Chains A and B, each alone.
Chain A
Amino acid sequence: MKTVNIEFTLNGAKTKVTVPANMTLVHLLRKELGLTGTKIGCDKGECGACAVLINGKSMNSCLVLAAQVDGKEVTTIEGLENEGKLHPIQEAFIEEGAIQCGYCTPGMVISAKFLLDRNPDPTDDEIKTGISGNLCRCTGYTKIVNAVRAAAQKLKNAGGGGETR
Chain B
Amino acid sequence: MRPFDYLRPKSAEEAIEMKARLGKKASFLAGGTDLLVKLKEDAVRPEALIDLSFIESLKEIREADGTVAIGSLASYADIGSSPLIERFGYILRQGALEIGAPQIQNAATIGGNIANASPAADGIPPIYALGAHITLVGKEGRRVVAVEDFFTGPGKTVLKEDELIIEIGFPKMMEQDKGFFKKIGQRKALAISKASVAAVLHIANGKIEEARVALGAVAPTVIRCPKTETLLKGRKISGSLIEEAAKSVSSESMAIGDVRSTPEYRDYVIGVLFERGMRNIFSDILP
Contact = CB atoms under 8 A, between A and B. Distances in A.
B107 interface: yes
B37 A45 contact: yes
Contacts of A115: 102
A62 B1 CA distance: 12
B4 A48 contact: no
A51 B40 contact: no
A128 to B, nearest CB: 8
Interface residues of A, dominant DSSP: mixed
Contacts of B8: 67, 70
Interface residues of B, number: 31
Interface string B152-185: 0000000000000000000000000000000000
B103 A2 contact: no
Given A22-B1, A59-B103, A132 B6 contact: no
Nearest to B31: A63
B37 A44 contact: yes
A15 interface: no
A138 to B, nearest CB: 18
Contact of A67 (B6, B107, B190): B6
Interface in B200-241: none
A130 interface: yes
Nearest to A47: B190
B6 A65 contact: yes
Contact of A2 (B3, B53, B54, B77): B3
Contacts of B148: none
B281 interface: no
A22 B106 CA distance: 21
A45 B32 CA distance: 10
A133 B51 contact: no
Interface string B19-33: 000000000010111
Contacts of A57: 77, 106
Contacts of B102: 58, 111, 114-115, 129-130, 132-133
Interface string A56-76: 011110111101101000000
Contacts of B7: 1
Interface residues of A, number: 34
A20 interface: yes
A139 interface: no
A87 to B, nearest CB: 18
B189 A133 contact: yes
Given A45-B37, A68-B51, A129-B189, A1 B103 contact: no
Nearest to A110: B103
B5 interface: yes
Contact of A21 (B36, B49, B53, B104): B49
Contacts of B39: 22
B286 interface: no
Interface string A102-127: 00000000010011000000000000
A48 B8 CA distance: 27
Contacts of B49: 21, 65
A67 B189 contact: no
Given A22-B1, A57-B106, 4 more contacts: A68-B53, A70-B54, A129-B189, A130-B102
Interface of B: 1-8, 29, 31-33, 36-37, 39-40, 49, 51, 53-54, 77, 100-104, 106-107, 188-190
25 contacts: A1-B7, A2-B3, A2-B4, A2-B5, A2-B6, A20-B3, A21-B4, A48-B101, A51-B103, A57-B106, A59-B103, A60-B104, A64-B36, A65-B36, A67-B8, A68-B51, A68-B53, A111-B102, A129-B189, A132-B188, A132-B190, A133-B102, A133-B103, A133-B104, A133-B189
Interface of A: 1-2, 4, 20-22, 24, 43-46, 48, 51, 54, 57-60, 62-65, 67-68, 70, 111, 114-115, 128-130, 132-134
Ranked 3 nearest A-B pairs via Cβ: A133-B101, A132-B189, A21-B6
